[in-house]
Amino acid sequence: MCHPGHVDDELRAQDWVTVTREQELAFLLSPRLPDMLEERGLRLVRLSEVRPHPSPGGGRMSEATPQ
């Protein structure tokens, strides 16, 4: 999961997770991203499409979505 976006003073005042937002946005907008995902058999999905699966280590849940 990521939270891409442009950071301004208003966002900085409301959310401490701002350092990576612009990096994530640049990565997601990269023209290389579709090829990188395809090479790895991955695809971007909405959180509502993710089904929870028990984590191999127990406790926390991991999420996986087969292509």
- The per-residue pLDDT for 46 is 86
- The per-residue pLDDT for 17 is 82
**Alpha carbon distance 28, 43 (integer Å):** 12
- The per-residue pLDDT for 58 is 58
User: What is the identity of the amino acid at 41?
Assistant: G
Give residue 12's Cα distance to chain centre: 20
Q: What is the DSSP letter of 61?
A: E
User: What is the identity of the amino acid at 34?
Assistant: P
- Residue ranges for the chain with pLDDT beneath 50: 65
3-state secondary structure of 5: coil
Residues contacting 19, CB < 8 A, separation 6+: none
